[in-house]
Structure 1
């Protein structure tokens, strides 16, 4: 479990964050159970770790800022019932990249702000996933709702919910897919 301890200073809150710079983030998430929505694989537990970058693209009226977002996923792990083995519980690991993403957030000086984000990419699994007739290479997209807690002029902690879909996009013989509901924690620095 990730824990971050930060001591804010009064000076840190009065400074203007530099929204013209690239932001680097480290994040992790856990999904207690998958759901049957777009994917057909239920009862999966998932862990994920990511390293991300964000670069501001455009400022909108009302202090809204659109960011380009990309993530490197060095680790993702699924524990799930494999349906072509009579629902035997198996474990599979992988890594990936989400090079296309966008985040919309408030660029104000508030201590607490909200954001919405989406990314898309690919995950390469250690073996065909989630069935033997699927593929090692899978595609992903996610939708994230979260909140930022700014603890000084160059850093913030974020937390929230991420819906994450993974499937082979009908490129395998089977495409059962899997939908995870992540709770995540993220540390960002500018």
Structure 2
């Protein structure tokens, strides 16, 4: 486990842009996997940490240094915005109706308050990896269902850096021009 606030809950709502890195030849179906660049805008990000949560490494040092190992007594409901400008997806079977894929991305989230408390930072970094299925509904619309392992932390820029790991299941609808 990379993060160590185990009881945290994380959610986001976003819009994705995707562009094949090797456009298919006109009139010819692509053969093999298709590599796609992705970028996400995240206008809604929510992080909730319950009261009396102790980040794991801090719990181990609690007896040694009370100030740095204080519990997150009040809990936290943090709201933010973010972007994932660096992302890639590999679509397998790009000419079929059901297309399995793997994906990953990196980005950042800016919260309205420091996360997880005043010892943290407003700006946090993210990375994720996952897999799923794209279901072609029409020539212009695709349904995506997937799983994503998501990590969030301040990159050791705050007084403390307890990361948050999340297992996300997501649903998306894509429209092609």
Matches of 2:5 and 2:87 in 1, distance apart? 25
**1:100 matched residue in structure 2:** 86
Matches of 2:104 and 2:158 in 1, distance apart? 25
**2:156 matched residue in structure 1:** 170
Alignment map for 1:48-67 (pairs within 5 Å): 48-58=12-22, 62-67=31-36
Conservation of the 8 A alpha-carbon contact between 2:76 and 2:116:
no
Matches of 2:14 and 2:174 in 1, distance apart? 12
Aligned residues: 154
TM-score, scaled relative to structure 2: 0.81
Matches of 2:164 and 2:136 in 1, distance apart? 33
Matched, 1:125 2:111: yes
Conservation of the 8 A alpha-carbon contact between 1:63 and 1:107:
yes
Unaligned runs of 5+ in 1: 1-36
Alignment map for 1:139-150 (pairs within 5 Å): 139-150=125-136
Runs of 4+ in 1 over 6 A off after TM superposition: none
Matches of 2:11 and 2:88 in 1, distance apart? 22
Indicate the RMSD between aligned Cα atoms, in angstroms. Answer: 1.8
Which structure has the larger Rg?
2
Alignment map for 1:103-114 (pairs within 5 Å): 103-106=89-92, 108-114=94-100
Unaligned runs of 5+ in 2: 25-29, 55-69
Alignment map for 1:3-42 (pairs within 5 Å): 37-42=1-6
**1:69 matched residue in structure 2:** 38
Q: 1:153 aligns with which of 139, 147, 150?
A: 139
SS at match of 2:168: strand
Post-superposition shift, 1:174? 0.7
Conservation of the 8 A alpha-carbon contact between 1:42 and 1:80:
no
SS at match of 2:95: coil
